[in-house]
Copies of this chain bind each other. A is one copy, B any other.
């Protein structure tokens, strides 16, 4: 997953932000990052903290984030195994960069839902797109 698509690159100047969406835009990464923003967490803690995530997807997500240098994975040689995840310094700056988006969302989700409802009402009305 997280395909590093070679095409579509030099199109929008400075809009390489799409590339970060390839990393954190998936279904679970942001949850993991947000949780780890609160400090080091064990695998099972993350699993419990991210409602609805499967074991497999948690592993896949964490592997991807580790690969990208956003989280670290520390395995302790004890039985049963103990593995701890934490944000790297870069991961922490990423969380900071995402924060405005979180704030924006909190302030505008209601507006979006309203726009949707209005749009859907129009779409369901008998005459639509409604000429003239």
Chain B residues within an 8 Å CB radius of A101: 17, 20, 97-98, 100-101
A66 at the interface (CB under 8 A from B): yes
Known interface pairs A100-B97, A116-B68; A105-B30 also in contact (CB < 8 Å): no
Prevailing SS type, chain A contact patch: helix
Q: Are B100 and A69 in contact (CB under 8 A)?
A: no
Q: Are A8 and B52 in contact (CB under 8 A)?
A: yes
Bound Cα distance from A90 to B18, whole angstroms: 20
- Identical copies in the complex: 2
A82 at the interface (CB under 8 A from B): no
Q: Are B14 and A102 in contact (CB under 8 A)?
A: yes
Contact digits for A1-18, partner B, Cβ 8 Å, 1 yes 0 no = 000000110111011111
Bound Cα distance from A11 to B49, whole angstroms: 7
Which A25-67 residues sit within 8 Å CB-CB of chain B? 25-27, 30-31, 34-35, 49-52, 66-67
**Residue with the highest number of chain B CB atoms closer than 10 Å, among A19, A69, A99, A114:** A69
Which A73-119 residues sit within 8 Å CB-CB of chain B? 77, 90, 93-94, 96-106, 108-109, 111-112, 114-116, 119
Q: List 15 A-B contacts (CB under 8 A).
A: A10-B51, A12-B35, A12-B50, A14-B102, A15-B102, A16-B106, A18-B30, A21-B21, A21-B24, A23-B112, A25-B25, A70-B112, A70-B115, A90-B108, A97-B104
